[in-house]
Structure 1
Amino acid sequence: MTGSSHEQTSVRYFCTAGNGMETFLVDEVKRKLSAQHVIHLQGKVIFSSSASIRSIINLKSAERLFLLLKHDTPLKLPAHMNRAKAVSLLQSKLIAQNELSSAAMLWSRLQGELKDRATHGGEIQSPSVGAKRRRENGGQSSALGDKCDGEARNSGQKSDEVRVVNENEERVDSKRKRLDFAHENQCVDPQSELLLPPVDQISFRISCKCSGSLARHFSTQDVSKILGANLTTSLGWMVDLRNPHLEVNVNLTDDYCLLGIPLTKSPLASRSYVKTTGLRSTVAWAMASLAQIQPGSLVVDPMCGVGTILIEAAQEHSDTYFLGIDIDNEQLIKANGNVVYAHLEDRMEVLKASSLGLPLNSASVDAIVCDVPFGRKFGTKVDAAVNLPVILSEMARVLRVGGTLVLLLSPQLSHLVKKTLTQGDAKSNSPEEKELQTEKQDCPSVAASFTKQLFSQGCNNGTVSTREAESPYGQNCTNAVSCLKHEQSFRVSLGSIDGLIHKYVKSDLCFK
């Protein structure tokens, strides 16, 4: 739908998401893009937005981004349908010639906007962008622009200006020749002046997934051949499996028919600000989004690994401080490398310490986010299952009342956490503990100025050695775990295995 001349056109997109991440993606597109007509499918979210493509490619919970071509009801074929009739029905179900031509133009415009973003203007830009830059750059740029428009320059200008003008003029002349040729072949978007090849020279390939009852009639290769032949015949497009201008993505299931064109070559989940990858970036972002991080907060990951969760959080919160703690020297070196690579040295530090004895004051942390290591891939020197009660007690101790704890756990560790919290509730309600509860967590603490010194002086590239033995606080603060009140849980895919994200808030009920 097109608005006034001052409004951008609303475009229909869809994103893919890991299993369990769809809820986060729905919330993100509504909150960040003011998206409308949002549809939640398994592994996908469809939405309309008039936001710039530059904003849309910054979605953090999405895997890949597509321009939507068609979202339709599934194709139902009787079991004994004639093959020729089934092919005819499939062709009619897939996209029409005029729809794909219009989509190709829109795709071209969006690609141009992305190119402008990547090259800070590039060689081809819209007249409005060029005029703005000439105004911003002053008289010389204006003169250059006048020359590009064909106006004569004064003969007394400096040689270096003439050289720049000549180079710019050659570029623009080349652009105009290509525009004239493209206009003759009717394959240019007049609003963006961004080019596709002549209509009979566009190349494409088809990426197809076919499942359910339809797969009994057609394989993915069959669908690709049928759609490809239709595009070649009706539009004159050419198949190119290696380096096409366009890729048509087709998903045919028992629930829907979905077609789209990818808008980026690399997944949105591939972060340009991360040097060494760890936990899947989309899951790390989801955990950070649950932590209720506020300006000026201190956010800690007591088993940070390479620092993925904190780095994702830091991208969203520019006025917050982050501390990553780990016992593994190799992980800390990688984490510190990520901090430097992401230019977060002024807001994030990494520190060597054990999660069994955190070198932090009690009630000094606003939020804790932690991927508790599990499985062979997520191995650690700390046995999380055996030490889980102490780890939880330490997290609860350093977390302030009202603070948020977000954990990523395996199903097995999740069960142990639930058991530990249940036992903590029972123990805190026993007669022996009620007297201790009135002391309001009367525990010894480390130096009061630790946190301030940590961020003002640094941590020697993440290799500072601190107390690594089991915390003495665990025995004195046996009721700490019972203060963690469960709020939300999400099951998310981590590839070959699933993980459970749990959110807790520290309550003051155990102190009353």
Structure 2
Amino acid sequence: MVNLGKEASLIRYFCTAGYGMEQFLIDEVTKKLAAHDIERLEGKVLFSSSAHISLVKELKSAERLFLLMKRDSPLKLSAHANPARVASVLKSTLIGDLQRWTSAEVTWRRLQGVVGDKKKEESKCEEQRKVEEENVLGEDNERDFPAMKKRRKMDCEDEDVYAGTHDQDKTRPQANRHCSDPLSFRISCKCSGSVSRHLSVQEVSKVLGTSLSGQLGWKVDLRNPQIEITVYLRDDHCLLGIPLTRLPFANRRYIKTTGLRSTVAWAMAELAQIQSGSLVLDPMCGVGTILIEAAQEHKLACFLGLDIDDRQLHKASENVAFAELRDRMHLLKASSTHMPLPNASVDTVVCDLPFGKKFGTKTDMAASLPLILAEMERVLRVGGSLVLLLSPQLSCLLKKLLTPPGTQEAANQEGVQDVTSTPTQGKEPPIGLMTESCPPLSSLKHQTSLRLSLGTIDGLLHKYIKTHT
């Protein structure tokens, strides 16, 4: 809720985040915003901060930023409740004290002086949203489509925007007369779980929209509202918030051509714990997203990107120039299986190995993985970190490659997530043949493994430290 306490500058926010990204967001708001009263929900993080809004809107691991209106327990509705009872419960839960809404309006108007998007961003809003949707949905394999549909139905939530009524001419209450111009608004409602079976988004939108129109005098505007009220109704929580930016944070202003989702690329760089003066290598850099995200955070490090594809290198070069990083970032055409670099010459290796329908490659990554890993280990100095983003299938293969024969139990104790039950597409090369050409990389010690949502499929994020030559 909007803070009305002793410290006027303290504001309660919440951010949405990709599944698996919540802890990165918690660490970021703690470090950068000195946030407190942090609460973690699935796909969301709530926090309070007195940091300037210009700092808050620079969060790199978040998807969207909201001014928190209300955090409440889940709705308790009977399947046989009559419409009048449902409307009463919704109104009391979602509207509550009108002072909360007038306070939120004051806070929102104050923040808009800094947060308001530029006109040129508004003109590109719809286009960038389409690009965002393609980035999220295009990373799927066809075999994952049924699972994706089920997941989207259960987790990604149904949406509806309030179509509104036209009874805004009712007498406005005293609570809204402090504002010379009434706000225009629309409602975006998202329901999931059992709530969606008992309650439609249209019902929620109608009750909330009618109440705001009648009691606060706000006016419905579906096309270009001043304010949008977002409602999340789930089995474990009820959230109301006001988006503070039009575009998702993943739409970076310093990246011209998008590749890997920027929030995930940032998380990879964060996990690597890059130090000042380090040389950071991405041996399959693509359009350079990971390196650019890392360079934005680490001003005193240098970066090298390799790729065998001329088209990718061309786009990466445009991105580097667009981000004004030519003095610290260099690109080179080279194969990840034969890197033109000396032994132990880089401090950090970060790499998103191509997989999925959108970012896949004609190269047989399962067959090439042993050689790629061997090269990464060779160029990495002792004490350096290796961060990899892999598909579940490649993660399974990685685990086998790094596990000496007969020590499977030891690998399980390390905490590497077992993904052997995940169905694979095609057959993997015999492990015995691969290990003959590339011995187990015993110098790489496992640190952590995390599962992240990449939209329609999941990826596994792994970190290793090189312990010896």
TM-score by length of 1: 0.72
RMSD: 2.3
Corresponding residue of 1:169 = none
What are the Cα deviations for residues 417-437 of structure 1, in whole angstroms up to 9, with x where unaligned? Answer: 1111114898xxxxxxxxxxx
Corresponding residue of 1:113 = 114
Structure 1 residues 291-310: aligned runs within 5 Å: 291-310=272-291
Report the alpha carbon displacement of residue 366 of structure 1 after superposing the two structures with TM. 0.2
Structure 1 residues 347-496: aligned runs within 5 Å: 347-423=328-404, 481-496=441-456
Does the 8 Å contact 2:66/2:243 carry over to 1?
A: yes
Q: Give, as a single letter, the amino acid of the residue that structure 2 aligns with 1:354.
A: S
CA gap of 1:49–1:224, structure 2 versus 1, over 3 A, is same
Corresponding residue of 2:124 = none
Q: Give, as a single letter, the amino acid of the residue that structure 1 aligns with 2:19.
A: N
Report the alpha carbon displacement of residue 79 of structure 1 after superposing the two structures with TM. 2.8
Kindly indicate whether residue 96 of structure 2 is the aligned counterpart of residue 90 of structure 1. no
Does the 8 Å contact 2:385/2:465 carry over to 1?
A: yes
Q: Give, as a single letter, the amino acid of the residue that structure 1 aligns with 2:449.
A: S
3-state SS in 1 of match to 2:446: strand
Specify every segment of 5 or more residues in structure 1 that has no aligned partner in the other structure, as ranges: 120-183, 188-196, 427-473
Corresponding residue of 1:202 = 183
What are the Cα deviations for residues 177-228 of structure 1, in whole angstroms up to 9, with x where unaligned? Answer: xxxxxxx9522xxxxxxxxx52xx3211000012233323320011000100
Kindly indicate whether residue 462 of structure 2 is the aligned counterpart of residue 498 of structure 1. no
Q: Distance in 2 between matches of 1:256 and 1:92?
A: 15
Q: Distance in 2 between matches of 1:335 and 1:86?
A: 54
Name which of 178, 200, 206 aligns with 1:186.
178
Corresponding residue of 1:279 = 260
Corresponding residue of 1:56 = 56
Report the alpha carbon displacement of residue 83 of structure 1 after superposing the two structures with TM. 2.2
Q: Give, as a single letter, the amino acid of the residue that structure 2 aligns with 1:105.
A: V
Q: Give, as a single letter, the amino acid of the residue that structure 1 aligns with 2:37.
A: H
Q: Distance in 2 between matches of 1:339 and 1:254?
A: 44
Specify every segment of 5 or more residues in structure 2 that has no aligned partner in the other structure, as ranges: 120-175, 408-433
Q: Give, as a single letter, the amino acid of the residue that structure 2 aligns with 1:86.
A: V
Report the alpha carbon displacement of residue 98 of structure 1 after superposing the two structures with TM. 1.6
What are the Cα deviations for residues 333-375 of structure 1, in whole angstroms up to 9, with x where unaligned? Answer: 0000000000000000110000011111101110000001112
3-state SS in 1 of match to 2:65: strand
Does the 8 Å contact 1:3/1:9 carry over to 2?
A: no
Does the 8 Å contact 2:258/2:287 carry over to 1?
A: yes
Q: Distance in 2 between matches of 1:299 and 1:346?
A: 14
Q: Distance in 2 between matches of 1:334 and 1:317?
A: 22
Does the 8 Å contact 1:276/1:338 carry over to 2?
A: yes
3-state SS in 1 of match to 2:194: helix
Corresponding residue of 1:100 = 101
Q: Give, as a single letter, the amino acid of the residue that structure 2 aligns with 1:186.
A: H
CA gap of 1:411–1:46, structure 2 versus 1, over 3 A, is same
CA gap of 1:27–1:425, structure 2 versus 1, over 3 A, is farther
Q: Could you list the structure 1 runs, at least 4 aligned residues long, displaced by more than 6 angstroms after superposition.
A: 474-477
> In terms of Rg, which structure is larger?
1
Q: Distance in 2 between matches of 1:345 and 1:242?
A: 41
CA gap of 1:399–1:239, structure 2 versus 1, over 3 A, is same
Q: Give, as a single letter, the amino acid of the residue that structure 2 aligns with 1:481.
A: L
Kindly indicate whether residue 296 of structure 2 is the aligned counterpart of residue 315 of structure 1. yes
Report the alpha carbon displacement of residue 477 of structure 1 after superposing the two structures with TM. 10
Q: Distance in 1 between matches of 2:288 and 2:81?
A: 56
What are the Cα deviations for residues 239-263 of structure 1, in whole angstroms up to 9, with x where unaligned? Answer: 1111111100001111111000000
Name which of 282, 303, 313 aligns with 1:332.
313
Kindly indicate whether residue 230 of structure 2 is the aligned counterpart of residue 229 of structure 1. no
3-state SS in 1 of match to 2:45: strand
Q: How much identity, in percent, do the aligned residues show?
A: 61
Q: Distance in 2 between matches of 1:259 and 1:291?
A: 35
Q: Distance in 1 between matches of 2:92 and 2:436?
A: 72
CA gap of 1:3–1:315, structure 2 versus 1, over 3 A, is farther
Q: Distance in 2 between matches of 1:262 and 1:97?
A: 19
Does the 8 Å contact 1:407/1:502 carry over to 2?
A: yes
3-state SS in 1 of match to 2:324: coil
Does the 8 Å contact 2:371/2:438 carry over to 1?
A: no
Corresponding residue of 1:32 = 32
Does the 8 Å contact 2:403/2:440 carry over to 1?
A: no
Q: Give, as a single letter, the amino acid of the residue that structure 2 aligns with 1:302.
A: P
Q: Give, as a single letter, the amino acid of the residue that structure 2 aligns with 1:74.
A: P
CA gap of 1:234–1:396, structure 2 versus 1, over 3 A, is same
Does the 8 Å contact 1:425/1:482 carry over to 2?
A: no
Q: Distance in 2 between matches of 1:480 and 1:8?
A: 58
Q: Distance in 1 between matches of 2:353 and 2:193?
A: 37
CA gap of 1:53–1:118, structure 2 versus 1, over 3 A, is farther
What are the Cα deviations for residues 123-155 of structure 1, in whole angstroms up to 9, with x where unaligned? Answer: xxxxxxxxxxxxxxxxxxxxxxxxxxxxxxxxx
CA gap of 1:221–1:327, structure 2 versus 1, over 3 A, is same
